[in-house]
A and B are shown apart, each in its own frame.
Chain A
Amino acid sequence: QLQLQESGPGLVKPSETLSLTCTVSGGSISSSSYYWGWIRQPPGKGLEWIGSIYYSGSTYYNPSLKSRVTISVDTSKNQFSLKLSSVTAADTAVYYCASPEGVRGVILGWGQGTLVTVSS
Chain B
Amino acid sequence: DIQMTQSPSSVSASVGDRVTITCRASQGISSWLAWYQQKPGKAPKLLIYAASSLQSGVPSRFSGSGSGTDFTLTISSLQPEDFATYYCQQANSFPRALTFGGGTKVEIK
Contacts and interface: CB of A to CB of B under 8 A. Distances in A.
Contacts, number: 61
Interface string A82-120: 000000000000001010101011111011110000000
Contacts of A52: 95, 98
Tell me if A's interface is mostly helix, strand, loop or mixed.
loop
Interface residues of B, number: 25
Interface in A13-47: 35, 37, 46-47
Nearest to A59: B95
B95 A96 contact: no
Interface in B36-55: 36, 38, 43-44, 46, 49-50, 55
Interface residues of A, number: 25
Contact of A47 (B1, B46, B103): B103
Contacts of A80: none
Nearest to B45: A110
Interface of B: 1, 32, 34, 36, 38, 43-44, 46, 49-50, 55, 87, 89, 91-92, 94-103
Interface of A: 35, 37, 46-49, 52, 54, 58, 60, 62-63, 96, 98, 100, 102, 104-108, 110-113
